[in-house]
Amino acid sequence: MTAAAVPFTTAVTDDRYKYKYLIAITVSLASVLELLDTSIVNVAIPHMMGNLGATLDEIAWVSTGYIVANVIVLPITGWLSAYFGRRRYFAGSIALFTVASFMCGNAGSLGALVFWRIVQGLGGGALLSTSQAILYEEFPREEYGTAMAIFGVGVMVGPTLGPTVGGWITDVYGWPWIFYINIPFGMLALALTLSFINDSRHQQRTDRVDFLGLGLLAVGIGALQTMLERGERLDWFASGQVRLLGITSALALITFIWHELTTEQPVVDLRILKSRQLAVGVVYGLVLGVCLYATIFVLPVYLQNVRNFTANQTGLVILPGALASAFTMAFMGRLQGKFDARLSIAAGVGIFALAMWKHAHFTTESGFHDFFWPLIFRGVGLGLIFVPLTNLALADLPMSKIPNGTGLFNLMRQLGGSVGIALSATLLQRFTAIHRADLAAHVTPFAEATRERMAMITQALVARGDAPVIAHTKAIGFLNGIVTRQAMMLSFEQLFLLFGTAFVLSLPLLLLMHRNKGAPGAGAAAH
């Protein structure tokens, strides 16, 4: 009897994982769509402003509305997945995202575009964390690394392709097509979801809706994200609007945490943070988000403002690093569980810091060959971190809590990214002002080098046909541009070193996590 039972068990197990790679492709496609739309819009902003008659401050809500909606949904994806059923919720989110994409492209006014971007963000917010939860259940435990590697390729390559693809589509077809392009891929992802993805075997459905928790979360996270998105433009706490957003966010989130810890059926189960492994992983995810998104934000600004690269050229510079990250993740996925994951994270942080040190040696004359290896190093470093960190953070959770864990982990990484972008934008402005003042102090009419350079530029302009007075004025403007450009370059160097150092200083957090050769869902045995 025992002998007869073995083939039956094997057949059942094989059948259970029969479509695992199709499922991985399905959820990765959905995640790429969500992440692509975070960055693809940015390069089309000038075209939208002209077409819709909007100011820069108004059009910014096209990006801000999407991200705010995304961040609000992230922590409640586990609850929503259990309440509606995972298959129905995931398919519904893809359908909502796809329909909203069509409506965005068809929008004839700024108000309509912002509204549908918010709806699109509500649909897209589910795709990332729910995708991870699906992969953890649909792959056997020994192949979790492979599953996360497939997922990670999309996570890394998606945002990188955004500006390049967005720039090309906008130039050739017009900005509505950056939304229309989602429709065929969204329909494919929806068809695959309905064909291969099933409800979770571990979900614990609740019949009660925690409306108070939902409201507090939406207000708290929404106000915080809006403050981070607009703080630099409004000069932070010098603005009454930013102060109001900060106070509103703090009060709402503190009340939310108290409510969720005292109610019987919370919309976000914060009690899972009793797992030290998850709590430390979430904090480390925040640090990863800050350093990753800050450098992703700063590098294109340097390439386009100092080196005068186009959006397409910038995308081509960044692409090799994203591919290196994807290949590294795929390789690390094969090694999952064979060694201490903390060593991989430590090595990744070290390589990332080395890449930032090399970034700090970029100049105003650096070219493609100067960017290649530093960006390859950065990609490899991030590839060594992403899969092991995700698996370590979720290692002690039972399978039923994995959706909540992935939601919190992705939320903190996203918030970390918002903090990193806001911080880098503010520091870039402050550092540039400081360096410009220092440099300008040495570029005066009393300095011999300045007089010689002014004379050379003026003579060259006069030789081209400009009147001496006009040539002199242009020469002053030219020197001013050189000083500003050099001040920005010094600021970029500082920022790269700052975020590389910050990542290294976070390494002691790894000591608070235990070595785990198991995988997420292993905590089920303890429950």
**Helices then strands, each counted (H, E), the chain:** 20, 0
Q: Is the pLDDT of residue 283 over 70?
A: yes
- Asked whether 163 and 39 are in contact (CB, 8 A), the reply is yes
pLDDT (mean) for 136-157? 75
Q: 140 pLDDT band (50/70/90 cuts)?
A: confident
Using a pLDDT cut of 90, give the percent of the chain over it: 16
Buried-exposed string 499-520: b where 16+ CB fall within 10 A, e elsewhere: bbebbbebbeebeebeebeebb
* Nearest of 173, 258, 244, 129 to residue 520 by alpha carbon: 129
**Kind plus residue range of the DSSP H or E element containing 191:** helix 182-196
Task: Give the global pTM.
Answer: 0.79
Highest mean pLDDT among 30-34, 37-41, 49-53, 502-506 belongs to 502-506
Specify the long-range contacts of residues 503-511, CB closer than 8 Å, at least 24 apart. 503/287, 503/288, 503/291, 503/349, 503/352, 503/353, 503/356, 504/349, 504/350, 504/353, 506/284, 506/287, 506/349, 507/346, 507/349, 509/280, 509/283, 509/284, 509/287, 510/284, 510/342, 510/345, 510/346
> Which CATH class, in words, describes the domain spanning 272-527?
mainly alpha
Residue with more model confidence, 410 or 343: 343
- Asked whether 353 and 506 are in contact (CB, 8 A), the reply is no
Q: Is the pLDDT of residue 116 over 90?
A: yes
- Asked whether 121 and 66 are in contact (CB, 8 A), the reply is yes
Domain 17-208 identical in fold to domain 272-527: yes
pLDDT of 250 reads 93
Q: Report DSSP state, residue 17.
A: T
Mean pLDDT of the chain: 81
Highest mean pLDDT among 192-206, 308-322, 364-378 belongs to 364-378
Give me the amino acid identity at 204.
Answer: Q
- Asked whether 164 and 92 are in contact (CB, 8 A), the reply is no
Residue with more model confidence, 9 or 145: 145
Residue with more model confidence, 6 or 454: 454
pLDDT of 8 reads 40
pLDDT (mean) for 62-74? 82
Residue with more model confidence, 340 or 499: 499
SS3 call for 347: helix
Residue with more model confidence, 120 or 319: 120
Q: 4 pLDDT band (50/70/90 cuts)?
A: very low
CA 455 vs. chain centroid, Å, equals 48
DSSP string of 236-281, one letter each residue: GGGSHHHHHHHHHHHHHHHHHHHHHHHSSS-SS-GGGGGSHHHHHH
Residue ranges of domains in the chain: 17-208, 210-266, 272-527
pLDDT of 524 reads 42
- Within a 10 A sphere around the Cβ of 297, how many other Cβ atoms? 18
Q: 346 pLDDT band (50/70/90 cuts)?
A: very high
> In sequence order, which ranges of 60-138 are alpha helices (DSSP H)?
61-73, 77-84, 86-105, 110-138
pLDDT of 337 reads 66
pLDDT (mean) for 397-425? 82
pLDDT of 167 reads 73
- Asked whether 263 and 211 are in contact (CB, 8 A), the reply is no
- Asked whether 349 and 191 are in contact (CB, 8 A), the reply is no
Give the dihedral of Cα atoms 236, 285, 357, 424; nearest 10 deg: -10
pLDDT (mean) for 82-109? 89
Task: Give Rg (Cα) of the chain.
Answer: 25
pLDDT (mean) for 346-354? 93
* Nearest of 213, 223, 206 to residue 400 by alpha carbon: 206
Each residue of 418-466: pLDDT tens digit? 888 888 888 888 898 898 888 777 766 666 666 677 677 777 767 777 6
Give me the amino acid identity at 86.
Answer: R
Highest mean pLDDT among 43-52, 107-116, 222-231 belongs to 107-116
Each residue of 251-260: pLDDT tens digit? 999 998 998 8
Domain 17-208, CATH number (from 1.20.1250.20, 3.10.110.10, 3.30.830.10, 2.30.29.30)? 1.20.1250.20
Q: Is the pLDDT of residue 175 over 50?
A: yes
pLDDT of 481 reads 72
Output the CA torsion sign for 331, 332, 338, 343: positive
48/64 Cα distance (integer angstroms): 15
Each residue of 181-200: pLDDT tens digit? 889 999 999 999 998 888 77
- Asked whether 142 and 307 are in contact (CB, 8 A), the reply is no
pLDDT of 48 reads 80
Q: 2 pLDDT band (50/70/90 cuts)?
A: very low
pLDDT (mean) for 392-404? 82
- Within a 10 A sphere around the Cβ of 448, how many other Cβ atoms? 7
Q: Report DSSP state, residue 522.
A: B
Each residue of 192-240: pLDDT tens digit? 999 888 877 766 666 677 788 888 888 888 888 888 877 877 778 888 8
- Asked whether 54 and 83 are in contact (CB, 8 A), the reply is no
pLDDT (mean) for 303-325? 80
